[in-house]
Structure formats: C-alpha cells, structure tokens
C-alpha cells in the first residue's frame, strides 16, 4: 500500500526526472547551431578566414554563456603551423577550449570536434563555390556545444575538456597543437572522444571507431547503445587497410600517436563529402538528433564505468 504523501512524493520525483530528461538535449538549439555554423556568410570556415573567426566567436560566447572554465585566456589557444600543400605559414590559428571539473577523478575526458572547413573553392555544376561543411564538421561542433551544456548541468565523474579545434583540414593541426600545449601532463588524459560528420547516413548507421585498439571500451558502448537508433557500428580501425582505417583521418590521430585511448564517432562518406552541397539542407535532422542522444548516452556510460584512477 502507498500512503498519499509517498505517492505525491513519487509524482514530484517523476516530474523532476521527466523534466530533467526532456531538457537534456535542446534539439532546436542543436539544429540552429549547425545551421548558423554552416551558413553561407561563414564561407566554409577556412582557417584564418573571416568566416572561421565568426564561427570561433560563436563557440567562445557559448562556452562563456554555459559557464565553462578554461586554462587559456578567454578560451582561446593560438598556434602556428606550416601548410605544406599551400607552402604557407599559418600564424594565429585558434582552438577554443573549455573545461568542466569532475566529481571524483583527475583523469580527463577530452571531447573534440573541428570547427574549420575548406572555405571557398571550385564551383560545382550549380555555380556554388561555398564549401559549407554542414556535416563536416558543423555537426560535430554543434554537438560539442550541446554536450558542454548538458554536462554543465549534470556534473561528470571525470573532468571533461571541450575542444573545438581549428586547422583539421590542413593536417589535424589543432589536435597536434592542443597536445603540444596541454595544461596537464598527458598521462592525465583518460581518453579522447572525437566527433566529425555525425548528421546523416542512408543506412541509419553511426560508427564508433577505435575499439579494435581499445577492446575494453567496446562492451560499454555496446551496452549504452542497446535499443537506440542510429545503430552503432564498430570498425574502420584495422591496421594496414589504407583509407578504410579512419584512425588518422580526423583529430583522434594525434591522440593515438601519443598512445591515448580514443573513440571516433562519424559516418561513412557521402555524395556531398567535401563538396559545396555539404549544406544544411542536405543533413538529416532526425538522424542527427538521434545520433546526438546516442553519443551522449555513450559518454555518460564511459564516464561512469571507466576507472577513476
Ligand atoms: Zn572533418
């Protein structure tokens, strides 16, 4: 038998839990961030371009609004690198980096997504020359903001660093710079979770790549994804398989080189990959919001199940 006071209490608890869950990811905000970051006026966000700086300022003001801490001045980590293809030195490329302390561990989860893309280039048959990079990688960047917002209200066990990286399209430069100028010993990094292209797939599949190297992560991810769509696939992480191995194809590469565990969330290439048609109109909103919730669930479980020391 349930006494009236108890049932009122349970009702309150139910309301608190359901309201809390509903607020976990703001889907409208997620989509509007993706739209903003891939709009024509950002002109493809090429490193050091005006559009790239607009994207950077949006991320920076969001980190500020959310109330993230940081180890860099105003969240910005500047770095320089040589672009061999263009034979040009890039000064003052900028990563945007926020931080949330953990409840009971010093081992950091570093979540990354690159916000740069390839800019303006060759026109396609429709006369479009802006390479918007909606899927690549406004999708991962907007997801990074949503995760920062979520974990700022639900404190994780492990500290989380949120890194919006620059210069990925010029050779994973932002990730290399982050690890070169990291505010803690690299031994304190528990793992890297990278997101790059997560907003569309014809087969309703999202990859979590890297478990071939780190098999201990696989059961956690398998369990986290039970009953959820898109279906979580493993693979693209076998050595000696050329471009089929994605380990060095995005910002998880430099972490791998430092022997730091990673999981890379991404989809297989599509017709609009690195084309002017990779724009907001061609992403799949329901795939994207579901992928976001799946990734969130995976990160919550990794945070709870991975060792604290
Ligand atoms: Zn990318």
Tell me the whole-structure pTM to 2 decimals: 0.93
Strands 189-195 and 262-266: parallel
Residue 15 Cα to ligand 1 middle (Å): 40
Ligand 1 centroid–CA 208 distance in Å is 15
Phi/psi of residue 161, each to 5°? -100, 130
Q: Does position 143 have pLDDT exceeding 90, yes or no?
A: yes
- Report residue 233's pLDDT band, with 50, 70 and 90 as the boundaries: very high
- What is the spatial distance between Cα 72 and Cα 262, in angstroms, rounded to a whole number? 23
Residues whose CB falls within 8 Å of the CB of residue 207, separated by 6 or more in sequence, listed in order: 232, 233, 234, 235, 236, 246, 264, 265, 266, 267, 268
Phi, psi of 165 (to 5 degrees): -100, 145
Q: Average model confidence (pLDDT) for the chain?
A: 94
Distance between Cα 52 and ligand 1 center (Å): 14
Domain 24-305: CATH class, spelled out: alpha beta
How much is the pLDDT for 6? 56
Cα(223)–Cα(205) distance, integer angstroms: 16
What's the whole-number mean pLDDT along residues 147-155? Answer: 97
How confident is the model over 257-304, as pLDDT tens digits?
999 999 999 999 999 999 999 999 999 999 999 999 999 999 999 999
- What are the residues facing 163 on neighbouring strands? 97, 112
Query: Is residue 4 pLDDT above 80, yes or no?
Result: no
pLDDT higher than threshold 50 for residue 94 = yes
Helix axes 285-305, 139-153, angle to 10 degrees: 50
Ligand 1 mean position to 72 CA, how many Å?
Answer: 24
Rounded CA separation 267/134 (Å):
13
CA of 128 to the centre of ligand 1 (A): 20
Helix%, strand%, coil% for the chain, nearest 5: 45, 20, 40
Of the pLDDT bands very low, low, confident and very high (cuts 50, 70, 90), residue 24 is confident
Ligand 1 centre to CA of 1 (Å) is 57
Q: How far away, in angstroms, is 137 Cα from ligand 1 center?
A: 5
Q: 197 CA distance to ligand 1 centroid (A)?
A: 6
pLDDT at 113 over 70: yes
Distance 152 CA to ligand 1 centre (A): 26
Statement: residue 41 has pLDDT above 80: yes
DSSP 283: S
Residue 12 pLDDT greater than 80, yes or no: no
- Mean pLDDT across 247-255: 98
Look up residue 212 and give its DSSP letter. T
* 274 CA distance to ligand 1 middle (Å): 9
Asked whether the predicted pLDDT for residue 15 surpasses 90, the reply is no
- State the pLDDT at residue 275: 97
Question: Mind listing the pLDDT tens digit for each residue in 182-217?
Answer: 999 999 999 999 999 999 999 999 999 999 999 999
pLDDT for 11 beyond 80: no
- CA–CA distance from 182 to each of 20, 171, 174, 188, 250 (Å)? 34, 19, 12, 10, 19
* Residue indicated by tokens 């349970």: 10
* pLDDT greater than 70 at residue 16: no
Torsion, CA 205, CA 211, CA 216, CA 222, rounded to 10: 10
- Find the 279 Cα to ligand 1 centroid distance in Å: 14
Model pLDDT, residue 217: 98
SS3 (DSSP) at 118: coil
The per-residue pLDDT for range 59-71, each reduced to its tens digit, is: 999 999 999 999 9
């Amino acid at each position: 038998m349930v006494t009236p006071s108890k049932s009122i209490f349970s009702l309150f608890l139910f309301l608190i839990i359901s309201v809390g869950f509903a607020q976990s990811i703001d889907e409208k905000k997620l989509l509007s961030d993706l739209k903003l970051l891939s709009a024509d006026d950002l002109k493809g966000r090429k490193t050091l371009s005006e559009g790239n700086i607009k994207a950077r300022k949006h991320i920076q003001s969001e980190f500020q609004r959310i109330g993230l801490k940081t180890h860099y001045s105003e969240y910005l980590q500047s770095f320089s690198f040589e672009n061999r293809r263009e034979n040009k030195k890039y000064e003052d490329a900028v990563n945007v980096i926020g931080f949330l302390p953990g409840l009971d561990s010093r081992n950091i989860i570093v979540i990354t997504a690159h916000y740069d893309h390839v800019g303006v280039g060759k026109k396609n048959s429709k006369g479009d020359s802006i390479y918007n990079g909606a899927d690549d990688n406004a999708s991962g960047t907007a997801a990074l903001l949503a995760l920062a917002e979520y974990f700022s209200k639900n404190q994780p066990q492990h500290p989380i660093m949120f890194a919006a990286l620059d210069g990925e399209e010029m050779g994973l430069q932002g990730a290399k710079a982050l690890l070169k100028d990291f505010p803690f010993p690299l031994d304190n990094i528990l793992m890297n979770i990278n997101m790059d292209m997560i907003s569309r797939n014809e087969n309703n599949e999202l990859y979590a790549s890297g478990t071939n190297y780190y098999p201990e992560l696989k059961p956690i991810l398998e369990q986290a994804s039970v009953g959820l769509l898109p279906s979580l696939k493993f693979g693209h992480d076998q050595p000696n398989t050329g471009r089929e191995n994605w380990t060095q194809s995005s910002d998880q590469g430099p972490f791998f080189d430092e022997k730091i565990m990673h999981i890379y969330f991404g989809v297989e290439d599509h017709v609009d990959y690195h084309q002017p048609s990779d724009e907001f109109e061609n992403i799949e909103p329901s795939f994207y919001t579901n992928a976001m919730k799946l990734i969130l669930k995976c990160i919550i479980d990794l945070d709870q199940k991975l060792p604290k020391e």
